[in-house]
């Protein structure tokens, strides 16, 4: 399998981490997002959505991290839940993450770190950080008294929701402020095969410096 990705992408990280924790053989294909490669004619020919991640496995080509995670679960029997009720609950968290957590955290992180300092919109950043506080509180409450978001083992719900929370760049998330999330991130990092996004995929701020 090939995963088109880059290390600074939290959505790529969700797909890459799912592959890695599942023990699936895969290789990263670096997409130079900051030089516009995701919008190049060559890349759009294989992914008309113009985004990463993109998984290619033989005749199967899949974009969107949640769809890739679901495919890996179906292929390996891991991370997809043990019952139909668990599967729906996992999908509920993946959809919530894509809409509420990753979309907002990803944009806020981008605005705060990857734009020139004089072009960072302070009011927009403050607004987004305010919205994210509620999102973090929801996740922290859901983890009260629980090791995992769904069932009794790590699933795609956990792998999706953690996607942006290991990145070192500031975007308004402090682990110490959310003890249940903090302990949960440690549990995920203790899983065999876990790697930090900048160790798992090519492409980091240091490479562009």
| Cα dihedral across residues 48, 49, 54, 57: positive or negative | negative
Residue in 194, 93, 193 with CA at minimum distance from that of residue 146? 93
Identify the band that residue 208 occupies on the pLDDT scale cut at 50, 70 and 90.
confident
Domain over 2-79+194-208 is classified CATH 3.30.70.890: no
**Percent of the chain, pLDDT > 70?**
100
Q: Count Cβ atoms within 10 A of the Cβ of residue 74 and give its class: 0-12 exposed, 13-18 middle, 19 or more buried.
A: exposed
Residue 26: is its pLDDT beyond 80?
yes
Given this model, what pLDDT does residue 171 score? 96
Asked whether the beta carbons of 63 and 70 are under 8 A apart, the reply is: no
Domains of the chain, residue spans: 2-79+194-208, 84-189
Q: How confident is the model at residue 94 (pLDDT cuts 50, 70, 90)?
A: very high
Residue 36 clears pLDDT 90, i.e. is over it:
yes
Q: Is 98 in a helix, a strand, or coil?
A: helix
Q: Which two tokens stand for residue 144?
A: 């009260």
Q: What number of CA atoms fall less than 13 Å from residue 7's CA on the CB side?
A: 17
Quick: pLDDT tens for 101-130.
999 999 999 999 999 999 999 999 999 999
What number of CA atoms fall less than 13 Å from residue 6's CA on the CB side?
19
Q: Please indicate, yes or no, whether the overall pTM of this predicted structure exceeds 0.85.
A: yes
How much is the mean pLDDT over the chain? Answer: 97
CATH number belonging to domain 84-189: 1.20.1050.10
Residue-level pLDDT at 137: 98
The Cα–Cα gap between 134 and 112 comes to 19
Q: Which helix (H) or strand (E) holds 56?
A: strand 54-57
């Amino acid at each position: 399998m090939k995963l088109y990705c880059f290390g600074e992408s939290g959505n790529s990280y969700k797909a890459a981490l799912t592959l890695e924790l599942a023990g699936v053989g895969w290789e990263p294909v670096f997409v130079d997002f900051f030089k516009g490669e995701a919008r190049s004619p060559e890349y759009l020919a294989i992914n008309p959505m113009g985004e990463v991640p993109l998984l290619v496995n033989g005749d199967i080509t899949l974009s969107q991290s949640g769809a890739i995670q679901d495919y890996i679960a179906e292929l390996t029997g891991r991370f997809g839940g043990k019952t139909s009720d668990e599967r729906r609950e996992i999908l509920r968290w993946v959809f919530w993450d894509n809409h509420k957590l990753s979309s907002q955290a990803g944009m806020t992180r981008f605005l705060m770190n990857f734009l020139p300092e004089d072009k960072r919109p302070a009011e927009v950043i403050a607004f987004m950080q305010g919205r994210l506080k509620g999102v973090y509180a929801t996740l922290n409450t859901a983890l009260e008294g629980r090791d995992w978001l769904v069932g009794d083992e790590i699933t795609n719900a956990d792998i999706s929701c953690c996607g942006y929370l290991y990145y070192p760049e500031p975007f308004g998330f402090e682990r110490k402020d959310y003890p249940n999330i903090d302990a949960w991130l440690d549990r995920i990092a203790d899983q065999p095969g876990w790697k930090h996004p900048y160790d798992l995929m090519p492409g980091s701020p240091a490479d562009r410096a």
